[in-house]
A and B are shown apart, each in its own frame.
Chain A
Amino acid sequence: MSGLGRVVRSGVRRRRVQTVVVGLVTAAAVTATVLGGGLLVASQAPFDDAFAAQRGAHLTVRADSGAVTEPQLAASASAPGVVAAAGPYRVLVVAFTERGGMRTPPLTVVARADPGGPVDRIELAGGRWPAGPDEIVLSGGAVRVPPGSRLATPGGAEFTVVGTARSVSDTAGAWVLPSAVGVLDGPDTADGYQMLYRFTDARTPTEVGTGRDAVVATLPAGAVTGARSWLDVRQQAVEDAAVFVPFLVAFALLGIVMALLVVGTVVAGTVGVATRRIGILKALGCTPAGVVRAFVAQTLLPAAVGAVAGTVTGNLLALPVLAETEEIYGSANTTIAWWVTVLATGGVLAVVTLTAWAAALRAGRLRTVDAIAVGRASGPARGRWASRLAARLPVARPVGLGLARPFARPARTVAILLAVATGAAAMTFATGLAASLLRIQTALTQDVADVTVTGDPDAGPVADPAAVLAAIDAQPGTRARYGRTQAPGTVAGIADPVSVTTITGDAAWDGFEMVSGRWFAAPGEAVVGGPLLTATGARIGDTVTVRIEGTPVRLRIVGEVFESVMTVFTGTATPTGRNPSEYRVALAPDTEAGAYARALTGALAGRGLTARPSGTETDPLLLVVEGLTATLTLLLLAVAALGVLNMLVLDLRDRVHDLGVHKALGMTPAQTIAMVVASVAGVGLVGGLLGVPAGVAMHRLVVPTMAASGGLHLPEALLDVYGPFLLTALALGGPLTALLGALLPAGWAARTRTATALRSE
């Protein structure tokens, strides 16, 4: 066996191209897989760890204090499937006023004697737990008010903030002692009970649903006003990082497909070229299994080196992304879990081994007589019709010879085709992804304005909106403008605050994307973000009651706007009669924003308003995604080009002798290059034409999935990113990749010494 190994190795030692290609393609596949898997795990792990440590609530139930008693709620802890329960706790929703008059959004305040217990052990991030009825602890995620600050209730009672805490189950915006309930309660507060449960089984929505039904069944009808699954909380917590996952999975899959394809063809090609050699070895008594083993070992060596390199790059590329998620969770998890690296590397190597083994089986099965006969008899008469046709084509003869070549080796041609198609698909997908992400970002920030005017919203009559808008209109260079102000509100049926944006003027131009319905037109109409529709179960055409600072406003939903949070946009004057806190202006083409802003600030002098060119800050997460996309695409394109290169090198090695004949008959180096290039140009074009639709389909599949994992419904406009020009350019990328891969071998072919080539065989 070692003798055989040496013989086969020596036969392949000169195949440096194949070795490099196998190494690189494995590295690319491992990089993509480590990144995809690592980030997938990293996006879940911090939440899961914290949830386990805090014994998080699988189900958080809100109950109507008028419809159920405390003992009834306490008894629900013995419902089937419940392993632990906490509560009932009193809950009140209160909007506080800070010193200086700033209002907090309405906070869900839970009355709890202590932060521990069997469920939802609240973690103090700073300060201490309340000790008296006038103390309060705020949830770190809800509002940023430093400890020591004082908050006033609408009823006038004052609380001191004594600490910041965090519930991984997201059960409250603030906590007080039960003795504070009487102090908090007032005409403006909604109240009820909270019960927390842990179940024996709660891994899937169905299991949580079963638990919820069991709990609800023990309570009087209508008692439960809300029930939140930990899976939803988890979803929200991980969604920022989860946005990455579908796209990384797509790239990991592409990488693995590419590895499969390239390794398969490399080994098959090596076997093909070594056929005679194998025949001789077998004639000398080598076993088929021995031959297969030798070929697999030969592939695994460069693959292992590539895998190590891929592990390193994958982990390095993950660093910026993990740093980003770390910020979101406050966790210290900045590296990829070691077992993900091991699993990804092992998985890719296993795929490589299997592929190499399958391709090498042919060598083992080869009949010795046939193997030795190769090269003596003329090969199978494949693709002769193509050479006949090409001979009649009105093109230079070397080009014709090249064009007919793919038909002589159909299997190899299909492999080149797939390599190019995969590269083109990756390229198309990545381009579309980048374009969609940019559009999503613009639509979410709703900020395409060139100039923003801000000031004191309560400056009184001086900032009269009609006068401000008139002043903006009077400014030369104004194309469009509107004013907006935002206030927290509540909608019946959902505990979380809703952001209500009141718009003065026409705002539809400012990057808003409609998912369905239309923009509001008449008083009493509103458009809302998707999450609000999901949370309330409302549909377009329904009327909802929004309470803004206690006053109910009835609004008819006429459209869904693309939004990631619970929002309402309306032109209807809000009860507070607040003036716009901000005006946004779009400028006519050729108007310089800086000069315009200075002029407008001058025109608005005395109204307490300042105009500034709008800063365009790009989401760092977006930058990371785009950087990763570019990196992974380049990696896959390089692999595609290498795949083509490898296939051509094999093909040329087969044809050294024919090339020699051509050159003996007077084919110049330039003509040789033309012939080799022509032999892949057609295949590249077809590959591009196949790959582009595949990439578009992948984009159609992945981007909405990414959005859905962030809880977003994507409007069609954000997906429609491929214009005919872009598609044509992408389709041309196929032949370009093939040409890149062909140039090197074509040069080699052109330089082959004719006399040497003719001597071979």
Chain B
Amino acid sequence: MTDPVIDVRGVTRRYGEGPPALHDVSLTVRPGECVAVLGPSGSGKSTLLNLLAALDRPDAGTVTVAGTRLERLGEAASARFRRAHVGLVFQFFNLLDDLTVLDNVLLPAQLAGAPARASRAHAASLLDSLGMARHAQAYPGRLSGGERQRVAVARALINRPALLLADEPTGALDTASGEDVRRLLDELHRSGQTIVLVTHDLRLAEASAGRTIRLRDGRVEVRR
């Protein structure tokens, strides 16, 4: 049996006083799985995703992603971990306005010091496969929401990550664009990409995810 891509055990994350944002959460994700995290606003979904991306550290419990224990990583190590193993897609795209589409996509490869030629070729093929090739030299400001999210996905995939994390990828999109992104993620899943996506879009969860997890007040509510 293959090792899981994600192995979260008994994780608690607390911001200041009050009830923790995550409370004793455990989760395992195997290679090639697509897991949807569902739950109402404020239930701790983004917090969980941040922990998986090593953007944040748990107060208790362990987080292992792609064989790396994340809870003890320093800043530089977590940055290196991210660019090696994780691709991130956000609700509001988070593209850099002053870089072209192509430069946005290339950025993680450049930060990782990947060979320029190979990265360019890979970026071009990603944009091509996402139908964005003709916008390579455009600036994100000119693109529609759906197009921007495609660029964001391309950027997330440039370093061939073991894990794609998406936080409400359709949350800022109209129905048609949302459908677009849904199909894209589904295709990625079919091609074998491991994905964890946070959403309250039930259609997205059903369309792409093989499995769903529900969070409520920081606890895993139902497992199905």
Contact with B along A357-390 (1 / 0, CB 8 A): 0000000000000000000011101011001100
B103 proximal to A (CB < 8 A) = yes
Please report which residues of chain A, range 733-761, place their CB below 8 angstroms from some CB of chain B when the two chains form the complex. 750-751, 753-755, 758
Which residues of chain B are within 8 angstroms of A668 by Cβ–Cβ distance? Answer: 75-76, 79-80, 111
Q: Mark A673-716, 1 if CB is under 8 A from B, else 0.
A: 00000000000000000000000000000000000000000000
Number of A-B contacts (CB under 8 A): 84
Q: Which of B83, B94, B155 has the largest count of A CB atoms less than 10 A from its CB?
A: B94
Shortest B120–chain A CB gap in Å is 11
Q: State whether the Cβ of A671 lies closer than 8 Å to any Cβ in chain B.
A: yes
Asked whether B100 is an interface residue with its Cβ less than 8 Å from the other chain, the reply is yes
Cα separation A381 to B97 with both chains bound (whole Å): 9
A619-640, CB < 8 A from B: none
Q: Is B55 an interface residue (CB 8 A)?
A: yes
Check if A665 sits within 8 Å of B80, measured CB to CB.
no
Count of chain A residues near B, Cβ 8 A: 34
On whether the beta carbons of B80 and A397 are closer than 8 Å, the reply is no
A661-B96 contact in complex given A384-B139, A755-B55, C-beta closer than 8 Å: yes
Q: Is B207 an interface residue (CB 8 A)?
A: no
CB distance from A671 to the nearest CB of B (A): 6
* Pairwise interchain contact A665-B50, C-beta atoms closer than 8 A: no
Instruction: Say if the beta carbon of A70 comes within 8 Å of chain B.
Output: no
Q: A384-B139, A387-B99 are in contact. Are A666 and B94 (CB under 8 A)?
A: no
Check A664 for interface membership: any CB of B closer than 8 A. Answer: yes
Given known A381-B139, A666-B111, contact A408–B79 (CB-CB < 8 A) = no
Residues in B whose Cβ lies below 8 Å from that of A384: 98, 139
- Contact between A669 and B90, CB atoms less than 8 A apart: no
Q: Is the CB of A665 within 8 A of B97?
A: no
The answer to the question of A592 belonging to the interface, with a C-beta cut-off of 8 Å to chain B, is no
A753 CB contacts on chain B under 8 angstroms: 56
Among residues 93 to 130 in chain B, which have CB atoms less than 8 Å away from a CB atom of chain A? Answer: 94-100, 103, 106-108, 110-113
A391: interface (CB < 8 Å): yes
Task: Kindly state the separation between the CA atoms of A667 and B107 in the bound complex, as whole angstroms.
Answer: 9
Do residues B110 and A397 form an inter-chain contact, with CB atoms below 8 A?
Answer: yes
Contact status B55-A667, CB under 8 Å? no
With A391-B103, A658-B96 as given contacts, are A381 and B141 in contact (CB-CB < 8 Å)? yes
Fill in one digit per residue for A643-667: 1 if any B CB lies within 8 Å of its CB, else 0: 0000000000000011011111111
Smallest CB gap from B109: residue in A: A397
Q: Does B82 contact A (CB under 8 A)?
A: yes
Instruction: Tell which of B80, B100, B110 has the most Cβ of chain A within 10 Å.
Output: B110
A-B contact pairs, 24 of them (CB 8 A): A378-B141, A381-B139, A383-B98, A384-B139, A388-B103, A391-B103, A397-B107, A404-B98, A408-B98, A660-B94, A661-B96, A663-B79, A664-B88, A665-B83, A665-B111, A666-B80, A666-B82, A667-B79, A668-B76, A668-B111, A669-B75, A671-B79, A755-B50, A755-B55
Give residues in A with beta carbon < 8 Å to B.
Answer: 377-379, 381, 383-384, 387-388, 391, 396-398, 404, 408, 657-658, 660-671, 750-751, 753-755, 758
Known: A664-B82, A668-B76, A758-B94. 12 other contacts (CB 8 A): A378-B97, A384-B139, A387-B103, A391-B103, A657-B94, A664-B55, A665-B111, A666-B108, A666-B112, A669-B76, A671-B111, A758-B55
